[in-house]
Amino acid sequence: MHKPRTNTTIEEINKSLIELMAQWRISEKDDELIFTKIVGLQLKKIRLMRGYTQTRVAKAINITFQQIQKYERGTNECKAINLKKLSEYFDVSFDYFIKPILDANLTFITKRRDGNNVYPFKQDYVAR
């Protein structure tokens, strides 16, 4: 049976972004996959908004269109250098690709330091 295509319109991409962000913090491994998928969806969204083909974008940053496909699907993680090239090509800020994550204030690290100390000390051992 053939699976229907999704994320072919800006509206579908935006809906997928919301659904992915709702799954954040299930597990550390899932967060990394979600991050990669969000970057890919943002790439696809801006490519569609500009009316560019995957081939055109791939040629502009000197990779294959298959690699663009994998980025957009979230199958492959996009290297930082390629994100920089893409941000220059599309004339967007580097953080455009993770903007939904930033806007939702999603974080990877949940542990925070208490006060100014990295490690808690008992008062008996603190210099006076």
Q: Between 118 and 110, name the one with better pLDDT.
A: 110
- The pTM of the full predicted model, rounded to 2 decimals, is 0.81
Q: What token pair was written down for 39?
A: 């970057």
How do residues 44-89 score in pLDDT, each as one tens digit? Answer: 999 999 999 999 999 999 999 999 999 999 999 999 999 999 999 9
Q: HEC string of the chain?
A: CCCCCCCCCHHHHHHHHHHHHHCCCCCHHHHHHHHHHHHHHHHHHHHHHHCCCHHHHHHHHCCCHHHHHHHHHCCCCCCHHHHHHHHHHHCCCHHHHHHHHHHCCCCCCCCCCCCCCCCCCCHHHCCC
- Residue ranges and CATH numbers for the domains of the chain are 10-125 (1.10.260.40)
How do residues 5-21 score in pLDDT, each as one tens digit? Answer: 789 999 999 999 999 99
pLDDT of residue 5: 74
